[in-house]
Structure 1
Amino acid sequence: MNKIIIGDHLVKSFGEGDEKHNVLSEVTVEIKEGEFVAVMGPSGSGKSTLMFALSGMDSVDGGNVFFDGKNLSAVEEKELSDIRRTKMGFVFQQPTMLKNLNILDNIIFPSMRDNRKNVANILEKARVLMKRVGIEELESRDITQVSGGQLQRAGICRALMNNPKIIFGDEPTGALNSKSAQEIMDIFSEINASGTAIMLVTHDAKVAARTERVMFMRDGKIVSELKLPKFVGTDIDARVEEVTAKMREIGI
């Protein structure tokens, strides 16, 4: 598989002088097309900062990020914004939705910028995605009239609208109960099986166990990795034990 993202010796610091703190310390990472990756580590280890750097949502102080062969560190902000909007999808712990729009309109809103003449096609695609994730009956609901799990499904639909090459998820199940979290991970697995790469930042060993490669971070560095076979739906307990055993081994 081709490499879709390369982070080459990434450095990111916050603060000045004696208060300066390296959040990323010469981190090098690669993600291949169609790969399903998790990043774990204690709070402050740099895992979210790494995701923001690789997605071009935040700049780095040193090193380069290459996405689909293009150096994101060298492009203008407008082009970078276009790349994020058209080739990447984002799912966060708390979906950012507009309160004055219903669920369907929130899903299609980012896609309308470049496709105002194709509203019918956009609506059709959104409804197909909503049916795929089981929320087709909620399109007219306000965002306050649905559960957290349903709102997260809407966020996933929005992330998929432009057929992204990769989806970035920052604690996408962190605010959900265990049943909803499992359902969201089932959706991510289906998305990945269709060929979309996924990178998830998580504290949850059960979430990480559903992926195929887990990167463990500590003090701004990737200190270890764990490779897992493709999840088949029946071996979750053994996979969770592998992840937690690795965490104990490296002391995180």
Structure 2
Amino acid sequence: MEKVLIGDRMVKSFGEGNEKRIVLDGISLEIHAGEFAAVMGPSGSGKSTLMFALSGTDRIDGGKVVFDGSDLTKVGENELSDLRRTKMGFVFQQPTLLKNLNILDNIILPSMRGNRRNAAEILERARVLMKRTGIADLEKRDITQVSGGQLQRAGICRALMNNPKIIFGDEPTGALNSRSGEEVMALFAEVNADGTAILLVTHDAKVAARSERILFMRDGNIASELKLPKFRGTDLDGRMEEVTIKMREIGI
């Protein structure tokens, strides 16, 4: 299976001298095309730093990151920015939407820059995604006029605008109630079924249980890994139990 993302002996530290702290300690991993993976670990284990390193959002001190054939450690900031905008999608715990734009304009904004498609094509793509995610009637709403779950759906629409090869999610359900969280995870499952790779950082065993591979981090390393069958919408409780047992085994 094609490897869409490779991290090879990645090292990342913060601080200087006696205050220096190694956050990624020579960590290596691969994400395959169409894979649904999750990263779990205690606070300070390096989960978010790993995601930022793999997406080229944060430069690493050593090792390399290869995404879609490009070594992210060797490309310039402009090329990195273009790769993130055109081939990656990002969904965060708190959607980073602009208050002075309505929902539709927030979704299309990143796609307007340097895009060869005309505005009509971009709008059509956005409206198709909004219909698919159940927010088609919200395009003129301000971001203060919708729920947290609806905002997160808008964030997912924005992440999908350019048909990315991978979506990175950092605690994407962390600020949602249980019902909205379930709806967002169902959307991720649909996106993954279409062939988009997904890598989620989460502390929630219920979220991780929907993935097919879970990487458990501790002290900047992958301490363990759990592989699960592709989630088909059943036996979530059994999958959660497997995740919880593994978390207890490694002290998370």
TM-score (normalizing by structure 1): 0.99
* Helix, strand or coil at the partner of 1:45: coil
- For this pair of structures, how many residues does the alignment match? 252
Q: 1:220 to 1:137 in 2, by over 3 A?
A: same
Question: 1:116 Cα deviation (Å)?
Answer: 7.1
* Helix, strand or coil at the partner of 2:118: helix
Superposed CA deviations along residues 165-220 of structure 1, whole A, max 9, x for unmatched, are 00000000000001100100000000000000000000000000000000000111
What residue identity is the alignment partner of 2:99? K
Partners of 1:206 and 1:104 in 2: CA distance: 31
* Helix, strand or coil at the partner of 2:226: strand
Partners of 1:117 and 1:88 in 2: CA distance: 18
Q: Tell me what 2:59 maps to.
A: 59
Q: Tell me what 1:134 maps to.
A: 134
Superposed CA deviations along residues 71-122 of structure 1, whole A, max 9, x for unmatched, are 0000011001000000000000000011110000000000011237611111
Partners of 1:127 and 1:70 in 2: CA distance: 32
Q: Tell me what 2:82 maps to.
A: 82
Partners of 2:180 and 2:53 in 1: CA distance: 29
Q: 1:142 to 1:16 in 2, by over 3 A?
A: same
TM-score (normalizing by structure 2): 0.99
* Helix, strand or coil at the partner of 1:64: strand
What residue identity is the alignment partner of 1:54? L
* Helix, strand or coil at the partner of 1:74: coil
What residue identity is the alignment partner of 1:245? I
* Helix, strand or coil at the partner of 1:174: coil
Alignment of 1:150-169 (within 5 A): 150-169=150-169
Alignment of 1:1-252 (within 5 A): 1-115=1-115, 118-252=118-252
Partners of 1:153 and 1:117 in 2: CA distance: 23
Partners of 2:243 and 2:5 in 1: CA distance: 24
Q: 1:26 to 1:105 in 2, by over 3 A?
A: same
Q: Which runs of 5+ in 1 are unaligned?
A: none
* Helix, strand or coil at the partner of 1:190: helix
Partners of 1:139 and 1:47 in 2: CA distance: 34
Q: Runs in 1 of length 4+ with deviation above 2 angstroms?
A: none
Question: 1:234 Cα deviation (Å)?
Answer: 1.3
Partners of 1:69 and 1:123 in 2: CA distance: 30
Partners of 1:84 and 1:93 in 2: CA distance: 18
Partners of 2:77 and 2:119 in 1: CA distance: 27
Q: Which runs of 5+ in 2 are unaligned?
A: none
Question: 1:232 Cα deviation (Å)?
Answer: 1.1
Partners of 1:74 and 1:30 in 2: CA distance: 19
Q: What do you get for the CA RMSD once the two structures are aligned?
A: 0.8
Partners of 1:36 and 1:16 in 2: CA distance: 36
What residue identity is the alignment partner of 2:80? L
Partners of 1:171 and 1:231 in 2: CA distance: 19
What residue identity is the alignment partner of 2:34? G
